[in-house]
Amino acid sequence: MTPEIIDVSKLCFSFDKKHPVLSEIDLPVHENDYLVIMGPNGGGKTTLLKCMLGLLKPDSGSVTYRGISTLDIGYVPQFTTFDRHLPIRVYEFIETGFISSYHPIKNRKRVDRNMIEHQIDRFALNAVAYSSISAISGGELQRTLLVRALVRNPKILFLDEPTTFIDPESRGNLSSLLKELNRTTAIVMITHDTSAIDDHVKNIACINRKLYYHGREERIQDSLEKVYGCPIELIGHGLPHRVLKEHK
């Protein structure tokens, strides 16, 4: 078993202290893990992610980082969390990935341009590098966000609903990109899109207030139905089989 880099233990969270959004969550993230956290809208996925990132403070329980710090985390947020209409070009947007090493006097310009250009190449963003972020397609914006998260070589990459606003072709590309990245980086992806679970995913957790954790080999059908509360159809790209269950 690879060592744990993040350990979520007995985590509870509520916005109003009355209605728990997350209850007694235990969740390990391993080195080079590819963990997908799924569940219906409103099930607490994003809240859990924010707790794991330290953006929200849990009511009780803990999130422990082992051998990593917040700066080793790459974060690809949902499109809706940031202001797409702000006048900024793709290149400068990616540069903001280095902001943590900015200092107003001592260090004004340390940005690894080679790294940025390498990643722009790798993710085929050359054509739009000097376009405004409001003028590019959903797939391009997704890759821009990914590049911004990757320029500092994170040890773990968090993705929040990465498939929501992109077309099927970009989804396929994203899937193979993530597979490649997973060789060196742990990946934690949250999604309500069951088709995002493909062959490369190593562990799956289903969440709807409570969390059900599965290793990859396990059948996840039952617990998915438990959290969604209805029959669920799982279709994966490149999976050796499809699991389809008749609707009652």
Partner 1 sequence: MNFLQYEFVQNALLSGLLLSIIAGIIGSLIVVKRDTFLIGGISHASFGGLGLFYFLGLNPILGAFTVAFLSGSLIGASKEEKLHENNALIGVVWAFGMAVGIIFITLTPGFAPNLLTYLFGDILTVRDQEIVWMLIFTLILLLSVFLFYKPFIVYLLDPEFAALQGIKIRIYRLFYYLFISTTIVLMIRSVGIILVLALLTIPPLIILPFCKRLWVILLMSVVLCLFMFTAGFTIAFYTHLPTGPVIIVTGTLLLFIVRLLSCLLRKRNS
Which of 192, 195, 193, 196 lies closest to 178, judged by CA? 196
| Closer CB to partner 1, 102 or 213, in the complex | 102
With binding defined as CB under 8 A, does residue 81 bind partner 1? Answer: yes
Q: Which of 10, 15, 66, 82 is close enough to bind partner 1 by CB under 8 A?
A: 82
Q: Which of 68, 88, 115, 177 is close enough to bind partner 1 by CB under 8 A?
A: 88
Which of 13, 9, 46 lies closest to 28, judged by CA? 9
User: Which string of x and - marks every residue 115-144 that binds partner 1 (by CB under 8 A)?
Assistant: ---------------xxx------------
| Cα–Cα distance, 38 to 41 (Å, whole number) | 9
Token digits of residue 208? 């709807």
With binding defined as CB under 8 A, does residue 17 bind partner 1? Answer: no
Token digits of residue 122? 């790798």
- In this structure, how many other beta carbons lie within 10 angstroms of the beta carbon of residue 103? 8
- Region from 4-12, 15-23, 32-40, 100-108 binding partner 1, contact rule CB under 8 A: 100-108
| Cα–Cα distance, 180 to 182 (Å, whole number) | 5
The answer to whether 12 touches 61, Cβ cutoff 8 Å, is yes
Instruction: Dump strand ranges (E) for 31-115.
Output: 34-38, 60-65, 73-76
Q: Which of 12, 53, 177, 243 is close enough to bind partner 1 by CB under 8 A?
A: 53
- Region from 18-26, 76-84, 120-128, 203-211 binding partner 1, contact rule CB under 8 A: 76-84
Closest approach, Cβ 8 to partner 1, in A, equals 17
| Cα–Cα distance, 32 to 45 (Å, whole number) | 21
With binding defined as CB under 8 A, does residue 12 bind partner 1? Answer: no
With binding defined as CB under 8 A, does residue 75 bind partner 1? Answer: yes
Contacting residues toward partner 1, per CB under 8 A: 50, 53-55, 70-71, 73, 75, 77, 81-83, 85-89, 92-93, 96, 99-100, 102, 104-105, 108, 130-132
